[in-house]
Amino acid sequence: MLMRKCLFVSNDFFKYRYCSHPAKITTTHHLFLIQHFCPQFTNFKSTEYLCRQITVMADSNFVDYVKIFARSGKGGAGSAHFRRAKYEPMGGPDGGDGGRGGHVILRGNAQMWTLLHLQFQKHTFAESGQSGMGALKHGSDGKDVILEVPLGTVVKDAETMEPLFEITADGEEKILMKGGRGGQGNNHFKSATNQAPRYAQPGEPFEEGWRVLELKVLADVGLVGFPNAGKSTLLSVVSAAKPKIADYAFTTLEPNLGIVSYRDNRSFVMADIPGIIEGAHEGKGLGLRFLRHIERNSVLLFMVPADSDDVAADYQTLVNELRLYNPELLDKRRVLAVTKCDMLDDELTAAIKKTLPSDVPCVMISSVARTGLEQLKDLLWKAIND
Ligand SMILES: Nc1nc2c(ncn2[C@@H]2O[C@H](COP(=O)(O)OP(=O)(O)OP(=O)(O)O)[C@@H](O)[C@H]2O)c(=O)[nH]1
Ligand SMILES: [Mg+2]
């Protein structure tokens, strides 16, 4: 088991969080295994950094990808029974129908936010329907199994990775695996020419298979920026969310959501995702896997810090990374915010303003000094409702 985990590490250590057991091994184990199997991480500092990241991710409660096996119940067979009663020599066919097999159903739950619970429930089986019985007794239906999932869960076939359906509303139910229909009893097949049918339908078979559930967070605005751009700080200032903030790269390892209140009791949802860096499409940094969480956002807020050498070039780099991940992301409305503007004096502010790209609405903000935030909200609200 440990070796398998380590091989995961050597290939792509972020796959680690998808392996079947939560991390039980200690950092010392990690160190030993990584040094043994991944000599490219001989530098102690990078190994230690890797261990920290792995431990943090393995302990994380945010799971946005699970692979589950589900099987519905098969339908109960119809009965081929004949009525037998005293003084009633030819009672005729009275076989009842079989019950329907239970479905495996996914139900949207707005209170949920992760697929963690399904990581520990990989296999789901629904009950089969009961067979029909004599005296026209119908077999009971198999119980449905309902799996609750957060809104924005996309279901894919695990082999072809073809999207099947998506859950977007609270209480919305979709059948993941359909239970087999119950067979009809011989009572249905009697006719003038065949008054004693010995035939009854068998129940329909179950469905089974592996499905991948992927969570794509549903938010109105997605924050896109390099690490340390001040994304989490902005979210913490404009909403009640309390993301972790620190002055090192990749502080945020999983998306955070916050509700931003706007004037007149209106509000919108903002999603802070881990930072991306140039070359993310080649797997650098945390790669592009978190970008799936901004696929559903209607507006993308690009954030470039004011201390950047060239704001327009940094913005272009971010746009390019998005294009390489999914060109459709560029169809979304965009807003550019230059962050940390409290560090600038008037002269520098004017100089930066001149270099800003003209094809996107821009705003200068500071989350610490709380300047430009109302203007930013106005721009975002306008972009959301356009
Ligand atoms: N002066 C100043 N510093 C800021 C401002 N906003 C954020 N910072 C600082 O910038 C650093 C990074 O902020 P975060 O909000 O963690 O940045 P992030 O973009 O979420 O970074 P990752 O999660 O690593 O991608 C922190 O030390 C913040 O205190 C600002 O408006 N002004
Ligand atoms: Mg952050």
Q: Which ligand is nearest to the CA of 373?
A: 1
Instruction: Give the count of beta carbons closer than 10 Å to the beta carbon of residue 385.
Output: 11
333 with 359: CB under 8 angstroms? no
Taking CA 215 as the corner, what is the angle to CA 214 and CA 219, rounded to the nearest 5 degrees? 150
Q: Would you state the pLDDT for residue 67?
A: 93
Q: Is residue 250 part of a domain?
A: yes
Q: Would you state the pLDDT for residue 325?
A: 87
Beta-carbon contacts of residue 187 (< 8 Å; ≥ 6 apart): 93, 94, 95, 96, 136
**241 CB near ligand 1 (under 6 Å):** no
Q: Would you state the pLDDT for residue 103?
A: 96
251 with 236: CB under 8 angstroms? no
Same domain, 313 and 333: yes
Same domain, 225 and 202: no
Q: Is residue 193 part of a domain?
A: no
Q: Which of 245, 256, 363, 365 to mutate to test the pocket of ligand 1 (most atoms within 8 A of CB)?
A: 245
Same domain, 252 and 319: yes
Type of residue at 40: Q
Q: How far apart are CA 99 and CA 130, in angstroms?
A: 5
Same domain, 126 and 37: no
Q: Which ligand is nearest to the CA of 233?
A: 1
Per residue, the 3-state secondary structure of 13-73, as one string, reads HHHHHHCCCCCCCCHHHHHHHHHHHCHHHCCHHHHHHHHHHHHHHHHCCCCCEEEEEEECC
Q: Which residues of the chain have pLDDT under 70?
A: 1-60
Q: Is residue 366 part of a domain?
A: yes
Q: Would you state the pLDDT for residue 291?
A: 83
Query: Ligand 1, atom 10: nearest CA belongs to which residue?
Result: 230
**367 CB near ligand 1 (under 6 Å):** yes
Parallel/antiparallel/unpaired status of strands 221-225 and 299-305: parallel
Which CATH number characterizes residue 351's domain?
3.40.50.300
Same domain, 91 and 173: yes
Q: Is residue 27 part of a domain?
A: yes
Q: Would you state the pLDDT for residue 179?
A: 95
Q: Which ligand is nearest to the CA of 234?
A: 1
Same domain, 112 and 175: yes
Alpha-carbon torsion (356, 362, 368, 369), positive or negative: positive
Q: Is residue 192 part of a domain?
A: no
Number of domains within the chain: 3
- What's the pTM? 0.68
**340 CB near ligand 1 (under 6 Å):** yes
The residues pairing with 177 across neighbouring beta strands, listed in sequence order, are 104
The parent domain of residue 36 ranges over 2-59
